[in-house]
Chain A
Amino acid sequence: MTSIALLKGEGMVPRIARGMLGSPKATLAFIVCLVLILAAVFAPMIAPQNPYDLNEIDFFDAKLPPMSEGYNGMTYILGTDGQGRDMFSAMLYGLRTSLAVGVTAGVLAMVVGTAMGLLAAYRGGAIDSVIMRFVDLMLGFPTILVALMILVVFGQGVDKVILALVFVQWAYFARAVRATALVESGKEYAEAARCLGIPAWRIMFAHILPNCLPPLIVIGTIQVASAIAAEATLSFLGIGLPITQPSLGLLISNGYQVMLAGLYWMSVYPGLLLLVLVFSVNIVGDRLREILNPRLAQ
């Protein structure tokens, strides 16, 4: 890392923090995100029961409405599902799966997209046009269709869902990184680095990449939200995660089977949690865009 990158990096964190605090809505959304992440990480400690340990769930407690007391004296604040599983615990574990899949997919897409975008920007020519044609093509198709095709081809599973999401999302990062990198490589510091005889790949990764971070952070946040929502949708359609790894989407899907019979809590609460999660990540992303966009932050 050069001193330029460090200076930029140091300046960015206080800038983001100040900008976040400047908007009560964004501050609240950020706190909600933080709480949800902590809840997901520490789910096994917070959850009243381990919802996937058959010794801990009682079939006699099945389909209890919220706030009812079970056989073993435990109060189910959000009710139980068809097998007597505590919904609150199941939701915490579901949140864990949803977040893990969404964040993994988002980060992998960022790595792949950034690498492709930088490659396109510094090699130019044929490599650039092939990569960018492919990006255009990917962005021309809706997420759900491409993910559907990949899952049809490769079958179900956590790894396949992540693969499908990465395949769908890398193009957004590639386009943004390439555009920023092209602007940056025309600036004087890049010129100076070239004059010093620093190899092209080093200039790209050590000098230009740090300056591509602002758009990357914004897109990364929004893509994590969209990855979480997309995974939930695929799981709801029955072509996403397997039943052994219940994400929020799968919980909602299971609850949907009995929703019309009036057992609303099995699908409404996981859905609300999913909504709060995606909504607050999107609000934070929207605010980040305002903070980091030099044209908007006047």
Chain B
Amino acid sequence: MTVFILRRVLQAILVLAITSLIVFLGVYAIGDPLEILLPADATMAERAQVAASLHLDQPLPLQYLNFVSSALQGDFGRSFVYNRPALEVIFERLPATLELVTTSLVLSLVIGLPLGLWAGMKPGSLTDESVMTGSILGFSLPNFWQGMMLIMIFSVWLGWLPSTGRGDTGTVLGLHTSYATWDGFVHLLLPALNLAMAQIALVIRLTRTGVQETMPLDFVKYARARGLSERRILFVHVLKTILIPIVTVLGIEFGSLIAFAVVTETIFAWPGVGKLIIDSINMLDRPVVVAYILVIVTMFILINLIVDVLYSLLDPRIRSRA
């Protein structure tokens, strides 16, 4: 077991090291930040001074070594645009993204579970057919276009919900959140629904399959024999069984929601890390781009590592295979 975990941790570190090298080299191959930072009439002396202050005048391998040693101490350099530590800029924006992602996860359960149960109860029926076709539609709807249609319908035509921005935030129990104010809450609805759409489709499919697999089992028959109502069997006994794999999958999906938030945040001008990365790519803000990618990749590696370790604890067969 210890060997297994140790091996996985080493692999994770290796992946992180390779990613950092590729991203560092790649980011340095595009554009020259001096072109953007300096006015067109800057003298050579001014250029050299700025280049030296940002360590852009050193040879590449040296820059990479400097970069790694300071990155390990949590220092990814200063953002060229904000003139503040890149990591600080990212962590300042992260709560807004996390709020969006958690709201989406809750939404996907609240909407997906009932629809999946409904479809699963009557396999082959018209309800089942339409819910399942609807879920393919949920997968097929390009995320960005679906978001635009939400804005079009709910903001432009109906005028019910605001289209962009985060609105007012307040403080609840020390957390800075949109839930604290009504304005913040209504601003959150459309982006969260947009991000949740694919997850809703996923939850529907998982729930339907789960219901269909669980209904013929003996414990359901026993519950029926005890005279429990069909509703109680479905919502208490069956739901309890199928919720475990669904929650596991949603846990894994958490990371990919953070990545997909890039699209949602761009459409709804949501001030999270996703919008930050797209802006930073366009403005060639290297430290922020590099820091973002490494933070997200680290997070993914951690999530995958935790899932791997948990699975191997639960299922000893995996250990022997790895």
Q: Could you say which residues of chain B place their CB within 8 Å of the CB of A286?
A: 136
Cβ-based interface call for B149 (8 A): yes
With contacts defined as CB atoms under 8 Å apart, how many contacts are there between chain A and chain B in the complex? 112
Whether A237 contacts B263 by the Cβ 8 Å rule is: yes
Q: Could you say which residues of chain A place their CB within 8 Å of the CB of B300?
A: 140-141, 145
Which residues B215-231 have CB closer than 8 A to chain A? none
Whether B23 contacts A153 by the Cβ 8 Å rule is: yes
- The B interface, classified by DSSP as helix, strand, loop or mixed, is helix
Q: Could you say which residues of chain B place their CB within 8 Å of the CB of A249?
A: 142, 144
Q: Could you say which residues of chain B place their CB within 8 Å of the CB of A238?
A: 278, 282
Whether A268 contacts B152 by the Cβ 8 Å rule is: yes
**Hey, what's the 0/1 contact readout for A238-279 against B, CB within 8 Å counting as 1?**
110000000001001000100110101001100100110011
Query: Chain A interface (Cβ within 8 Å of chain B)?
Result: 25, 133, 137, 140-142, 144-145, 148-149, 152-155, 225, 229, 232-233, 236-239, 249, 252, 256, 259-260, 262, 264, 267-268, 271, 274-275, 278-279, 282-283, 286
Ordered by A's residue number, 5 sampled pairs between the chains whose C-beta atoms are within 8 Å are: A154-B26, A238-B282, A239-B278, A256-B267, A259-B156
Q: Could you say which residues of chain B place their CB within 8 Å of the CB of A153?
A: 22-23, 25-27, 29-30
Q: Which of A137, A144, A259, A262 contacts B263 (CB 8 A)?
A: A144
Whether A260 contacts B163 by the Cβ 8 Å rule is: yes
A144 to B259, CA, bound (A): 7
A274 to B144, CA, bound (A): 11
In angstroms, how far is the closest chain B Cβ from the Cβ of A97?
Answer: 15
Q: Which of B22, B23, B256 contacts A142 (CB 8 A)?
A: B256
In angstroms, how far is the closest chain A Cβ from the Cβ of B149?
Answer: 7
In angstroms, how far is the closest chain B Cβ from the Cβ of A155?
Answer: 5
Whether A236 contacts B144 by the Cβ 8 Å rule is: yes
Q: Could you say which residues of chain A place their CB within 8 Å of the CB of B22?
A: 149, 153
Given contacts A149-B23, A237-B262, A252-B144, 19 further A-B contacts (CB under 8 A): A144-B259, A144-B263, A149-B22, A149-B26, A152-B23, A152-B26, A152-B27, A154-B26, A155-B30, A232-B142, A233-B144, A236-B263, A237-B263, A252-B145, A256-B267, A260-B151, A271-B142, A275-B141, A275-B145
Whether B137 contacts A279 by the Cβ 8 Å rule is: yes
Whether A229 contacts B263 by the Cβ 8 Å rule is: no
Cβ-based interface call for B289 (8 A): yes
Cβ-based interface call for B148 (8 A): yes
Q: Could you say which residues of chain A place their CB within 8 Å of the CB of B23?
A: 149, 152-153
| Max chain B C-beta neighbours (<10 A), residue from A145, A154, A268, A275 | A145
Whether A271 contacts B259 by the Cβ 8 Å rule is: no
Whether A152 contacts B281 by the Cβ 8 Å rule is: yes
- Decide: A259 near B142, CB < 8 A? Known: A237-B262, A237-B266: no
Cβ-based interface call for B118 (8 A): no
A259 to B152, CA, bound (A): 8
**Hey, what's the 0/1 contact readout for B168-196 against A, CB within 8 Å counting as 1?**
00000000000000000000000000000
Q: Which of B27, B140, B144, B266 contacts A282 (CB 8 A)?
A: B140
